[in-house]
Amino acid sequence: MKQATSSISIGLEWLNNEHLVDLDFTDDIALIDMTQTRMQEITHRVEKTASHVGLYINVAKTKVTPVSNEYNTSGDILVEGNPIEYVEEFCYL
């Protein structure tokens, strides 16, 4: 994650001009941003960086949950050209 998200200002602005980009849960990651465009950029960077070590994003198990009414869901976030499903709620086990 550090390699994928360093050197650009993405995520939520946090303390001391730092940015919160992801939350880690055991073997899952929640990516965070305020705009769809930057969310696509983060997703692409993670996808590209992970592929260098043989990891990939499973589109079937990946979801996008907008947490603001201002988030535009008219376009898709893509992984390997496949759209990630938008959901209103997501229950993490």
Note whether 5 and 45 are within 8 A (CB). yes
For 3, left (φ over 0), alpha (ψ -120 to 50), or beta? alpha
Higher-confidence residue: 32 or 73?
32
Residue 7: count of CB within 10 angstroms of its CB: 7
Decide if pLDDT at 74 tops 80: no
Report how many domains make up the chain: 1
- Relative to beta strand 63-64, strand 85-86 is parallel
pTM: 0.75
The arithmetic mean of pLDDT across residues 60-75, rounded, is 76
Domain that holds residue 72: 2-86
Confirm whether 12 is domain-assigned: yes
Confirm whether 93 is domain-assigned: no
Per residue in 6-58, pLDDT (tens digit) is 666 677 777 777 777 777 777 788 888 878 888 898 899 889 998 999 999 99
Element containing residue 30 per DSSP (H, E):
strand 28-31
Confirm whether 92 is domain-assigned: no
